[in-house]
């Protein structure tokens, strides 16, 4: 069974040809990544140094693919980049993800549509029905906050909810 989408097949590389970065400070949820890969396949390549095979971006995707028993993974190899530049590239990937924010109403609509279509599909996103209920409650202006359910107010008065599975704030 092929675990990589067709457009990335030319990048398929034996999974043991790349190695996790020893300098990756990020600690991700490999099980959540594995759920996503199992349902959606690999749809973006990981990035690794051509000279060492060290992964720059995609350490958790690599780990998840191993737990799923994959033999190959799509990889883009970077040539002629110093170790420090590779480290900075990986840091930029992590930090730009950290800086992202959700549009709560759009997220609630998307989660509702997916949940209505198929709850297993929602699970593949690592969002739960509880996350959706919390989000919808946080968007309801008639509901109060501060009842200990994980939602509260920030300094701007906006309600936020912390996903108990992935830690995302929305």
Every domain of the chain and the residues it spans:
6-98, 104-161
d(CA 3, CA 41): 5
* pLDDT recorded at residue 159: 55
CATH topology of domain 6-98: 3.90.1530
- Higher-pLDDT residue of 114 and 157 is 114
What are 34-91's pLDDT values in tens digits?
999 999 999 999 999 999 999 999 999 999 999 999 999 999 999 999 999 999 999 9
Pick the closest to residue 24 from 51, 50, 8, 47 (CA basis). Answer: 47
Residue 39 has a pLDDT of: 97
Residue 81: what pLDDT?
A: 94
Residue 106, Cβ neighbours under 10 Å: how many? 9
Both tokens assigned to 138: 């946080």
Q: How confident is the model at residue 161 (pLDDT cuts 50, 70, 90)?
A: low
pLDDT computed for residue 141 by the predictor: 80
CB–CB of 36/126 below 8 Å?
Answer: yes
């Amino acid at each position: 069974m092929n675990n990589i989408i067709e457009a990335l097949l030319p990048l398929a590389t034996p999974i043991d040809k790349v190695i996790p970065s020893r300098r990756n400070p990020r600690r991700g949820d490999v099980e959540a990544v594995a759920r996503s890969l199992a349902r959606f396949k690999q749809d973006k390549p990981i990035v690794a140094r051509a000279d060492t095979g060290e992964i720059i971006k995609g350490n958790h995707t690599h780990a998840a693919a191993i737990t799923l028993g994959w033999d190959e993974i799509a990889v883009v190899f970077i040539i002629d980049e110093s170790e420090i530049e590779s480290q900075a590239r990986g840091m930029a990937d992590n930090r730009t993800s950290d800086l992202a924010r959700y549009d709560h109403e759009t997220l609630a609509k998307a989660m509702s549509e997916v949940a209505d279509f198929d709850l297993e599909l929602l699970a593949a996103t690592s969002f739960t029905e509880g996350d959706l209920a919390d989000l919808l409650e946080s968007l309801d202006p008639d509901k109060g906050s501060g009842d200990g359910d994980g939602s509260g107010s920030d300094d701007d008065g906006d309600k936020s909810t912390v996903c108990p599975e992935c830690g995302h704030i929305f």
